Structure 1
Amino acid sequence: MWPAWRPYVFGLLMGLLAAAVILVVNRAERGTPVVLIPAPTIAPSPLPQPTATAQPWRVHVSGAVQTPGVYALAPGAIVQDALQAAGGALRGAALEGLNLAAPLADGAQLQVALRAPPTSTASVASAAEVAPGNTPASSPTADAKSGVVGVPASSGSAGALVNINTASAAQLEALPKVGPAIALRIIEYRTQHGPFATLEALMNVKGIGPSTFEALRAFITITP
């Protein structure tokens, strides 16, 4: 006959065996744990700032140049840039008195002087015909026999204004935009009509329009 405690021992052993089986079956193989690394944070690039556009310099070029006027030049421009913008210097311009590498500034004025005309002691002949015995009302003296008008030469120093009422043809040709033909017309006009009463009257001479007159204004006079 079985002792009374044996069923309890048997049940305990069976329970331990079942627990061991369950533990072995449910035990999972452990691997290396996976560590999640957060993605790197990229800072947004700063937006490019708009750059200020440099405004052009405005420079007034006048005097003995091909086309006087106001020109827009790049900042940092020099005297040579202004001369090129105005078409270059005229024949007879006193460039030796200019520093072509000198810097300019916004609102500056570049005045190109004209070299002093050569001094002449001889009378310069014109092609104007004068009737015998008729002396023009202007200051030039007339030779009735030859029909040639002699124009007294005016002396000048460096930078002196040219008197259009007394200047010789050579002195007139030294002015901006005045060639031999226009110089002759000026002499003919003042011989026929008398001395110029105003500077603006010079525009009555054929070939001298407003633009040519503006180029001449700074270099001429009607007063002795």
Structure 2
Amino acid sequence: MSRGPKQLATQPAWWIAYGVLCGLAAAGLLLLLAAPRRGQPIQLVQAPTADPAMAAQAQPSRPAPTPLVQPNLPLDLNAATAAELEFLPGIGPSTAMLIVSYREQNGPFQRLEQLLDIPGIGPRTLEGLLPFAYVEPNED
């Protein structure tokens, strides 16, 4: 059984192949037209720069972080800020805030052992703090 020209033209596979070939030909033609000619110099476009007036008005999206300066150790627990307390071993940001809150609610520390009243500070943490923290004697 021979196939005539009418049968080949109506089969979907031929239409798909024809579409792919036409697409490839069009893409090749576009690449040929867009490519620079041989022997011609390529012109480079300079990247845009910020306008000095706009740069002066620009605001940073967030404030610059304050540089961390390690405090002089040992620290007086009654005078240290939460940021300074974070430098102590075993004390993170939340525990430092708890120490400051405890001090504000209960008054100055009288002895280091009062740290055991703060959640998250146990005997092992207190033992690690002894060389790095002290309580200034109260002169009342």
After TM superposition, the score normalised by the length of structure 2 is 0.46
Which has the larger helix fraction? 2
Bigger radius of gyration among the two = 1
Q: Of the two structures, which has the highest relative contact order with CA contacts closer than 8 Å and spacing of 6 or more?
A: 2
